[in-house]
Amino acid sequence: MAVSPQAGGRWLRCPLIVSCVVTVMLTVGLAVASESRAVAPPPPSRFQNRGLAIVNGGVLWSDEGTLFLEGARWGIRPLGASEEDSWSASASAVALGSGSASVLPRRLSALPQPPRLSGGGCTWWEPAGVSVVQDDLIAGGECQEVTEHPVREPLYIRDLRGGRWKVLRWFARGSLTTLAAEGPLLAIGAQHPDRRMTVSILDLDTGEVQASFEIPVGSLVFASPQRLVLEISDGEAERRPRVSLHLFSTNGQHLGNLGVATEPLLSGTHILAYENGTIYVRSFTGGARRPVVGFNAPARNLQAFAFRWPELVVSETTSEPLLPSEVSCWGSSYGPPSKPFLATFDLARNKPFDAPPAPVKVESARRLSCLREEGPVPP
């Protein structure tokens, strides 16, 4: 993947953005009562989308089995082998499951496994479902050797700068639903059988629980240190499900509905969504959504995008129209796609919409001979 000098004149530069995720340093041992199905914690960071992530000083992306860090300070730096998009990143660190990780810009290195942990009806727990929160890993527990029906499970934490695996908190078996992080605050959602969940807001600097309240079950995202967004899926088994967005204060007060979006990314009180070939952004405070950049494959094809207010980074390919003499009988009107490249947009600047290229249809210069030689257009 290379950076091309095209795509609207907005190019990858060194982003200077303050991270909104947090270094977790506290170990707590509390149980939460519930009997719902186990759910692995999703990544607290929402700055990534299909193998692309904005980090301090650059962008992380994977290509042909290798994870790369790209930025003005270090150019393009390979960090190590990666299986497709199976990695999690914060603004300052990255992990490939619980097997290897690094604090950027260092290369990936193997992580020692924690000592065998027993308890809660299991004689051997291992970390699973790893998420990166600043310089720490947070992982759910997976029972490897059951002695009785497990009644609770651990939530692991490990400092990537040299700490050991610890138990951040014990949960009743299957109660953990969602995590979110912002500064020193960690929001933990634990599900109840009645499709509601208890959200606990922990101040990780002091170890205190700042608030505890009940809301419907969904995924949590911090909009600011004082605001949480609850995402509730429409429940349809679609490839790109739509979710309704609800704004809460961090003491549980419902502040309003933010509408419905398809696979939204949230950062800095803004919502980013990709619909019908166009990326849109809008503010929590109201107003119409604003189109940012459009795509029209194969002329301009979107592969991935990442959002970290005010920066949007997209990975795309482009294809040039062919001359009539270059078009085969029933082949494409476009040439082969370029290598993927990165383009960046500063969303704080209200620049004109970067419209998609107009579609092109070029007929073969040998159209009559095509009809005689190959017959009608294949289905």
pLDDT digits (tens, 9 = 90+) for 303-328: 999 999 999 999 999 999 999 888 88
Please tell me the least confidently modeled range out of 64-78, 145-159, 211-225. Answer: 145-159
pTM: 0.77
Q: What is the amino acid identity at position 195?
A: R
Q: For residue 324, give the 3-state DSSP assignment.
A: helix
**CA 169/CA 166 separation, integer angstroms:** 9
Do 302 and 312 contact (CB within 8 A), yes or no?
A: no
Nearest C-alpha neighbor of 188 from the set 155, 223, 141, 152: 155
Tokens of 221: 């995202």
**CA 353/CA 8 separation, integer angstroms:** 10
pLDDT value of position 285: 83
Helix (H) or strand (E) holding 224: strand 219-224
Q: How many helices (H) and strands (E) does the chain have?
A: 1, 28
Q: For residue 308, give the 3-state DSSP assignment.
A: strand
**CA 199/CA 179 separation, integer angstroms:** 9
Tokens of 250: 């961090």
Preceding peptide of 310 cis, ω within 30°:
yes
Tokens of 271: 């919502």
Preceding peptide of 216 cis, ω within 30°:
no
**CA 307/CA 322 separation, integer angstroms:** 34
Preceding peptide of 378 cis, ω within 30°:
no
Please tell me the least confidently modeled range out of 36-50, 76-90, 188-202, 216-230. Answer: 36-50
pLDDT value of position 322: 92
pLDDT value of position 369: 66
Average pLDDT over residues 199-214: 85
CA 311 to each of CA 5, 191, 266, 301: distance values in angstroms, whole numbers, following the listed order: 18, 34, 12, 20
**CA 57/CA 69 separation, integer angstroms:** 9
Longest distance between any two alpha carbons in the chain, whole Å: 81
Beta-bridge partner residues of 351: none
pLDDT value of position 130: 82
Please tell me the least confidently modeled range out of 42-46, 71-75, 137-141. Answer: 42-46
pLDDT value of position 83: 72
pLDDT value of position 121: 84
Average pLDDT over residues 289-301: 96
